[in-house]
Every structure is written in structure tokens, then in C-alpha cells.
Amino acid sequence: MNWENIHQILEKMTSQTSVASLNAVGLNYCQKMLSQYDYRIYLNHHMHGCDELDIAYVNGSAKPEQSEIKIVKELSSGRSLMPYCFEEQGYQYICVLNDGYTLALFVFKTGVEANDVSRVGVLKTLVTIWSNQLKVLYFYQRDALTGLFNPNIFIDAISGNSFYSDSVLGDDNNLKPALERRDNMEAPSSHGVALIDIDDFKLVNNRFGHTIGDEVLIKLSKLLELSFRESDLICRYSGEEFAVLLRYVSKRTVEDVLERLRTRVEETHFPRIESITVSIGFTMTVPGILSSELIERATKAMRHGKETGKNKVISYDTMVKATGDSFGASRLEIGEIELF
């Protein structure tokens, strides 16, 4: 690999505009750099502050030694004080870090030839660029408190104007395995748009203070990350309101998934305040319907749930039948064409 190739690689990495595409590019090039070694790659699939660092790629037959297992466990325990690159018992460890958390870990045993020194040096450079670019993307695309996506990314994904839209993610081999809940891989795209609002959250802030309120938001965000697939997109939409785009699912599946989430939240212990509930409204994507109208439909369904007792999952269709409010509804709901 000559310096011209390295320059092209670095240029491609720094031009990525999404975390998912950057990670895919970074992994691809690092695997090529390590191809001559026996190596293992560990990944944090939740991408942000979660205790999940699992083995993802293995080249060679050597099993991890106890020292390696111990290091992986320590790096998985949260923010690490270890340097991004170090050597332990003859093995090289190189980490891709984001905000102190290990996103990816490369473990391999080098030889003593001079080309090994050069190759490892280039790998360190790639990992440094990768980590720095992650910081930039997280700053612009993530909510500072929860680490979830911000509303702009969510709206762009629904509209099909960003990497996170279906047309691009559908071609991403790294995300295809995460589509395990897709109901029909050959069917036209069908997605759910859900809004999740914490019931009586203002009372939490007024009684316990905003610090406890922030802890509630952080813990709920972790529950959301554990409750949806990697291919789904989770966003902190505003204040105590969250939004989720569930990809390749039927309405029945969306309702089942959201009901399980509602129950899980209700049964989860939150420090100081004991428990919370959420009201959830959702609608299904329909060709020709603007993202703003989809969000408005999910919002109306969520508000209807709050007005009728809270702690509910309500679909837009159910709300329309119950209230007769058909604003924005048309025969497009069943796939027909609307004429103007």
C-alpha cells in the first residue's frame, strides 16, 4: 500500500457524512490492513456508551487468551483510561474511541519485520482519523444528553434525503443482518413512524429537579436502544419526546414492538421516582405523504392516547376511527392515488 493509496483512503474516511457509513469504510480498510495477520475485531453495536463489545470478525483459528478476554471486559465496562493503542503479552490492541467509549477493538500479533512497523503505523493513523471523524459527526448529528439522533437526521431519514434513508441503508451489507424483523424482504418498503412521550414529565422536573429529570431521559434512551434494531432509527425529538423509525415492518409488528416497549418502561425502576409511563402514537409510511404529515399523524395519535388515560399505544387509524378526525387522511392509506 503506497502513500497515494493511503491519501485516498484518508480522504474517503473524512468525506463520510454519517456514523454508519464511516464505520463501514473504517472497518473495510482496517480489515485489509490486517489481512496478513491472525486477528480479531470486537465491535460495540450500540455505538454510544453501552456495555456491548462483542467479537465480530476473526481471521485465523487462534482463540482469545485470558489476558485478552480480561482487556475486552475492561474496555466494555464504560469509559476507559487505557490509551487507544497498546501492547500486552505480544499482542497489539488498537481501539477506535468515541467520547472515551470503545467502538471497535483490533487485536492481532505482529512479526518483527520492518514492514510490520510501517503497517501498524498506517493502521494507527487510520484509527485516529476514524475516531476524530466520529467526534465531528456525533457533535452535529447527536443529542448531547442522550446520544440519540437529533430531529434533523430523523426527518431526513423519513424524507429519503440522507444516508439513513431506506434507499441507501438497503444496500449496506453491514446493516442487512440487522433487518431480522423485516416481515417480507421482497415486499415494497413499509415503515412505522412512532412518537414516544413521557407521561407527566413536568411533574418529575418540578418535584425532583432537572438533574433527576435528565437521568430519566438518559435511562429511557438506553431502554430505547435495547428495544429496537440497529437498522431502526431512534431520535430525541424534543424535551421528553422521542421518535423512532421502524423499518420494513407491518402495522401489526409495529404495534407489537411498541406495546412491548410500553410494558418494559412501565416495569423498569427509575431511581428516586420509582417508575414512569409513556404514551405512544404511530402511523405507517405511505408513498406520497410528506414527512411532516407523517409526524403530525403520529403526534395526534400520541396526544389521543394521553387524553384517553395515558400509558397507551395508539395508531393513527385507531385515533381516526375513535374521533372522526380525518385531517390528512385519504385513500392513500390503502394505496390508491389522490387526484388534485
Q: What's the pLDDT tens digit per position in 105-136? A: 999 987 767 678 788 888 888 898 898 888 88
Evaluate whether 301 touches 319 at the Cβ level (below 8 Å): yes
Q: 123 and 176: one domain?
A: no
Residue-wise burial string across 288-301, b where 16 or more C-beta atoms lie within 10 A, e elsewhere: ebebeebbbbbbbb
Which of 81, 108, 141 is where one domain is finished?
141
Same domain membership, residue 68 and residue 119: yes
- Domain with 48 in it: what CATH number? 3.30.450
Q: Could you tell me the CATH number of the domain that includes residue 299?
A: 3.30.70.270
Which region among 141-150, 211-220, 259-268, 299-308 has the lowest average model confidence (pLDDT)?
A: 141-150
- HSE-up of residue 265 (Cα within 13 Å, Cβ side): 28
- Specify the amino acid at residue 244: V
> 340 lies in a domain?
no
Q: Is residue 97 one of the residues assigned to a domain?
A: yes
Q: Are residues 246 and 282 in the same domain?
A: yes
Average pLDDT of the chain is 82
210 and 278 assigned to the same domain: yes
Same domain, 236 and 288: yes
Please state the domain count of the chain.
2
3-class SS of residue 46: coil
Q: Which residue segment(s) compose the domain that 192 sits in?
A: 151-334
With respect to residue 146, please indicate whether it lies within any of the assigned structural domains.
no
pLDDT digits (tens, 9 = 90+) for 255-264: 999 999 999 9
Residues 122 and 155 in one domain: no
User: Is 129 among the domain residues?
Assistant: yes
Do 223 and 273 meet the contact criterion of CB atoms below 8 Å apart?
no
Q: Are residues 171 and 301 in the same domain?
A: yes
Band of pLDDT at residue 1, cut at 50, 70 and 90? low
pLDDT by residue (tens digit) across 204-244?
999 999 999 999 999 999 999 999 987 899 999 999 999 99
Residues 191 and 262 in one domain: yes
Distance in angstroms (rounded) separating the CA atoms of residues 185 and 178? 12
Query: What is the C-alpha to C-alpha distance for residues 326 and 321, in angstroms, rounded to an integer?
Result: 8
Select, from the ranges 8-22, 222-236, 296-310, the one with the highest average predicted confidence (pLDDT). 296-310
Percent share of the chain, pLDDT over 90: 40
* Final residue before a domain boundary, out of 123, 141, 159: 141
Classify residue 51: in a domain, yes or no. Answer: yes
Q: Quick one: cell of 143?
A: 443529542
| Residue 169 clears pLDDT 90, i.e. is over it | no
Task: Annotate 116-160 with DSSP letters as a single string.
Answer: HHHHHHHHHHHHHHHHHHHHHHHHHHB-TTT-PBPHHHHHHHHHT
Strand partners, 98: 101
Instruction: Kindly state whether residues 78 and 209 are assigned to the same domain.
Output: no
Domain boundary among 115, 141, 167: 141
> Residue written as cell 472497518?
27
Residue 28 in any domain: the answer is yes
Query: Averaged over 77-89, what is the pLDDT?
Result: 80
State whether 26 and 170 are in the same domain.
no
Q: How are beta strands 313-315 and 278-284 bridged, if at all?
A: parallel
Strands 85-88 and 91-98: antiparallel
| Residues 102, 185 within the same domain | no
Per-residue pLDDT, 326? 60
Among 140-144, 164-168, 170-174, 197-201, whose mean pLDDT is lowest?
Answer: 170-174
Q: Are 116 and 185 contained in the same domain?
A: no
Looking at the domain assignment, is residue 339 inside a domain?
Answer: no
pTM of the predicted protein model? 0.65
| pLDDT band (50, 70, 90) for residue 324 | confident
